[in-house]
């Protein structure tokens, strides 16, 4: 039986694992590192670089070096998150004809799915080199608060890379699988997951091999990058005060500052003071300018305190949804590189009145859990038999007068299927439009549109007489499927689906044909 790999496709770093004698093991990349920078760079001579090699291009080649693409995948160009990203990234972002976001590289538009596919293709090649066999099946993780579009876009990226996705699993849930395998005990767990781009809090119960997610909450635009950005802004403002020079529009200088800020942030998790030294960062009529700055752990905490405390209301809501209090939680598992920050760890410990579990690397635990899930699917992990995840958002349809009828409530265990009956609002109406929404607001227009379709051929009748059965079905990957049926005629035909975002099936197939698998060194 060929191996199933587990992939943590992260905002800043990615990781891949597999099962070896029923234990998860990390697969190193081609440079020998256990994590791979989620970076793709296009060189001027036509090469495509991934990971460590691409990261080294960030200063010299910023407009062709794509970072943090996970923050863009599955989003619309005019979304607030993309508006914020446009201020930060050195590469160009453009709108696709359907309103999606695209990345411009040398006058060529590339979708976030294609960039993610390049990273996945590299991880696939690393696994094949390490295992000595072809790899075609994977379990891929996503943030618990990724919506339907973001999940489908991630699956499309994997498909383009030549991977069959056996399951899309939430990152905190994957981490809980790895924790559960190690701890081997029944308990209630809070998984606090803050990586480079996203934050999730998941409350779950482990009981005799059953992993039952009780609730989840989070923010898909809160993570380590935001902490980096605070340091970058502070350095830019300080430099401007000292020299009068504004480096915010200088892409080369800005990238150097960004790399130094991330490095300093990481160091301050282990030391109380570090130095940022950037010689020849700028020049004016008086000569060369440099940045030489000492920064303390306490200064970093002052700059980012509000980001840490933004997590607390989300934790409180997750506990309320699970009908639990902090003292009901037995274990706290920290996931993601940003959770190494001592101040963040202390805030979490104070909230729950207990120290988080240590001993599992927060950068590796998600990929390990994904590999375990692959073993469960293949039937080789019989002790961890059942995983009951939940949907992070309520789902429903628009009704008359901008109303919103929820059909599946948030934190419903998945997979799930629910049908609700509706009717017509006009006499002799032969067509209804089903507008699918995601969110919690009772006003339809205040929620996120996922798409719509028309049911055609309803038998003419007075308003309120026809019965239209609308069915929502969420699979184990968290992907939503919606159908509508006229109860009187049994008609379901004539359904035309218009996706609000994402690549079409045809576009994915074309990109699969065009995609070149990552070539191992020395091989063609």
Catalytic residues: 8, 70, 171, 193
DSSP state of 358: -
Residues 6+ apart with CB under 8 A from 508: 113, 156, 159, 160
Contact 167, 522 (CB under 8 A): no
Token digits of residue 342: 């001592």
Whether the CB-CB separation of 224 and 300 falls below 8 Å is answered with no
Residue 374 exposed, middle or buried by CB count within 10 Å (0-12, 13-18, 19+): buried
Q: Are 192 and 334 in contact (CB under 8 A)?
A: yes
In whole angstroms, give the CA distance from residue 143 to residue 8: 10
Within 10 Å of residue 118's Cβ, how many Cβ atoms? Answer: 24
Distance CA 339, CA 145 (A): 18
Distance between CA atoms of residues 475 and 261, nearest Å: 41
Tell the residue number behind the tokens 């940003």, with chain if given: 338
Q: What is residue 157's three-state secondary structure?
A: helix
CA dihedral 162, 164, 170, 171 (to 10 degrees): -50
On whether the CB atoms of residues 189 and 213 are closer than 8 A, the answer is no
Q: What is the C-alpha to C-alpha distance for residues 220 and 197, in angstroms, rounded to an integer? A: 7
Cβ proximity of 282 and 245 under 8 Å: yes
């Amino acid at each position: 039986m060929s191996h199933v790999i587990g992939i943590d496709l992260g905002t800043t770093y990615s990781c891949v694992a597999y099962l070896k004698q029923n234990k998860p093991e990390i697969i190193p990349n081609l440079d020998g590192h256990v994590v791979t920078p989620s970076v793709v760079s296009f060189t001027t001579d036509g090469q495509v670089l991934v990971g460590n090699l691409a990261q080294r291009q960030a200063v010299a080649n910023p407009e062709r070096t794509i970072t943090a693409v996970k923050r863009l995948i599955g989003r619309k160009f005019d979304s607030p998150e993309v508006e914020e990203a446009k201020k930060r990234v050195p590469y160009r972002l453009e709108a696709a004809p359907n309103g999606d976001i695209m990345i411009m590289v040398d006058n060529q538009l590339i979708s976030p799915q294609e960039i993610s596919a390049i990273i996945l293709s590299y991880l696939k090649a690393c696994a094949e080199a390490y295992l000595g066999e072809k790899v075609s099946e994977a379990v891929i993780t996503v943030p618990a608060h990724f919506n339907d579009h973001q999940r489908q876009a991630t699956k499309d990226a994997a498909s383009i890379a030549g991977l069959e996705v056996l399951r899309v699993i939430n990152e905190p849930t994957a981490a809980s699988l790895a924790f559960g395998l190690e701890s081997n005990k029944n308990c209630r767990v809070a998984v606090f997951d803050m990586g480079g781009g996203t934050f999730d809090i998941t409350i779950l119960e482990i009981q005799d091999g059953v992993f039952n997610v009780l609730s989840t909450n989070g923010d898909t635009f809160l993570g380590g990058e935001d902490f980096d950005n605070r340091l970058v802004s502070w350095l830019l403002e300080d430099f401007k005060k000292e020299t009068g020079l504004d480096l915010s529009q200088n892409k080369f200088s800005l990238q150097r500052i960004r790399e130094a800020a991330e490095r300093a942030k990481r160091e301050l998790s282990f030391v109380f003071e570090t130095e940022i030294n950037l010689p020849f960062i700028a020049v004016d009529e008086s000569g060369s300018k440099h940045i030489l700055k000492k920064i303390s752990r306490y200064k970093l905490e002052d700059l980012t305190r509000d980001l840490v405390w933004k997590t607390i209301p989300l934790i409180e809501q997750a506990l309320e949804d699970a009908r639990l209090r902090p003292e009901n939680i037995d274990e706290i598992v920290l996931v993601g590189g940003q959770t190494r920050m001592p101040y963040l760890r202390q805030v979490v410990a104070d909230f729950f009145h207990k120290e988080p579990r240590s001993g599992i690397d927060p950068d590796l635990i998600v990929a390990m859990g994904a590999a375990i899930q692959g073993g469960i699917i293949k039937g080789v992990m019989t002790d961890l038999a059942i995983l009951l995840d939940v949907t992070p958002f309520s789902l429903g349809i628009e009704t008359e007068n901008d109303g919103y009828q929820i059909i599946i409530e948030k934190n419903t265990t998945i997979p799930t299927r629910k049908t609700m009956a509706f009717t017509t609002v006009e006499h002799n109406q032969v067509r209804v439009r089903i507008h699918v929404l995601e969110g919690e607001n009772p006003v339809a227009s205040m929620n996120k549109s996922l798409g719509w379709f028309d049911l055609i051929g309803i038998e003419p009748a007075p308003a309120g007489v026809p019965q239209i059965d609308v069915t929502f079905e969420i699979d184990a990957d968290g992907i939503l499927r919606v159908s509508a049926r006229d109860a009187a005629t049994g008609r379901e035909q004539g359904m035309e689906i218009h996706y609000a975002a994402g690549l079409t099936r045809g576009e994915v197939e074309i990109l699969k044909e065009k995609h070149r698998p990552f070539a191992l060194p020395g091989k063609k």
